[in-house]
Amino acid sequence: MQDKAAYASVIKDAGDDPDITNGAEIVAAVRSAERGVRSEDSKIIIKGGEGVGTVTKPGLAIPVGEPAINPVPRRMIREAVMEAISEQRAEGKEQGDADAMRHAPCSLQVTISVPAGEGLAKKTLNHRLGIVGGISILGTTGIVRPLSEAAWTATITASFDVAKALGLTEVVISTGRTSEKAHQRKYGLPGEAYAMMGDYTEFSLRDAAKHGFSKVHLCAQWAKMIKIAMATPQTHVRHGALEAEKAADFLVKLGINIPREKAFNTSRDIFDFINSALPTRHSALSLVCEAARRYAEGLASGTPVIVNLVSYEGDILAASE
């Protein structure tokens, strides 16, 4: 029995979800546990094989040195294997097969592998969380949900957990990689301080406050920044496109000289006008950053927030301080 193993594999179908692991093969190998191997809370020992990353930094749900297989997938794996063991024992009992009942394994080792995992991991931000050598096995239900809010916000929280565990007092939340890189070039904070918030502005600011950081840096390009300044908690276009007319009205109220007789098609049109036609361009952009800061600090329960507006070329144009 010690030399025997059972294998099963599945090709992940992420459906409409833009998941980097879509089409990846996930392999499970099950064999009798080696003698002397014990599990504190179960008779099922879970290992990480090829393409599954290893945790190297504190702050995650899994201790340093363990394979990056999160608690919920671990529980689901254990439950599935224990169910199979119970079925084998019940079948043996029904058939009066004492050997089947006696030899039903009571201690098994399950090794999860993702053959392409190491290469796929290079396309993720796992390295920032301290997950090296492969991808992480995540999940809460085993069901793929397109554009899952839970998956994204869980990643934000994990980033904050790592930053906190490493003793960092400031974090940087960005709407995209271009904004993040602009801040990194100018300020050079540790890589673990950076978290990609995407469109989840409200969640990120509230979660940063819960973690007790002393300062939050927020970075975004114009299209997202004007939405944040206008107190929009979720900036994805599916929650409503920003009307250029409303944006122009908002800017006029801030004291920015936007000609209301001029027709703007998009918020980008307004940005281009400010950039090219207003002699007070920098002060105008700073006013937008200040409005975004006031909204952000309200969400962050008063935690100081520094807002950075990033150009479409990837440079910081203005800030709230």
How many CB atoms are located within 10 Å of the residue 259 CB?
11
Q: Are residues 180 and 296 in the same domain?
A: yes
Domain end residue (candidates: 132, 159, 193): 132
**Cα 321 to Cα 11: distance, rounded to the nearest angstrom:** 50
Task: Provide the domain count of the chain.
Answer: 2
Q: Are residues 172 and 263 in the same domain?
A: yes
Q: Tell me what the mean pLDDT of segment 17-33 comes to.
A: 82
Placement of tokens 């003793």 in the chain: 167
Residue span of the structural domain in which 19 resides: 5-132
Confidence of residue 37 (pLDDT cuts 50, 70, 90): very low
pLDDT tens digits, 223-267: 899 999 999 876 554 544 467 888 888 999 999 988 877 777 788
Tokens of 290: 């200040």
Confidence of residue 70 (pLDDT cuts 50, 70, 90): confident
**Domain assignment of residue 228, yes or no:** yes
pLDDT tens digits, 136-189: 887 766 655 555 577 788 889 999 999 999 999 999 999 988 999 999 999 999
How many CB atoms are located within 10 Å of the residue 97 CB?
14
Q: Tell me what the mean pLDDT of segment 290-312 comes to.
A: 95
Residue 234 is predicted with a pLDDT of: 64
Closest by CA position to 78, among listed 37, 38, 110: 110
Tokens of 38: 């014990």
Strand partners, 113: 27
**Domain assignment of residue 139, yes or no:** no
Q: Are residues 178 and 308 in the same domain?
A: yes
Q: Are residues 128 and 166 in the same domain?
A: no
Q: Are residues 266 and 305 in the same domain?
A: yes
**Domain assignment of residue 138, yes or no:** no
Give the CATH number for residue 27: 3.30.2110.10
* Mean pLDDT value across the chain: 84
- Write the DSSP symbol of residue 193: G
pLDDT tens digits, 72-111: 889 899 888 888 888 877 776 766 655 555 555 568 899 9
Q: Are residues 83 and 164 in the same domain?
A: no
Q: Is the dihedral of CA 304, 310, 316, 317 positive or negative?
A: negative
Domain end residue (candidates: 107, 132, 157): 132
Residue 136, C-beta contacts closer than 8 angstroms, at least 6 positions apart: 52, 53, 68, 69, 70, 126
**Domain assignment of residue 210, yes or no:** yes
Q: Are residues 103 and 70 in the same domain?
A: yes
**Domain assignment of residue 137, yes or no:** no
Residue 214 is predicted with a pLDDT of: 96
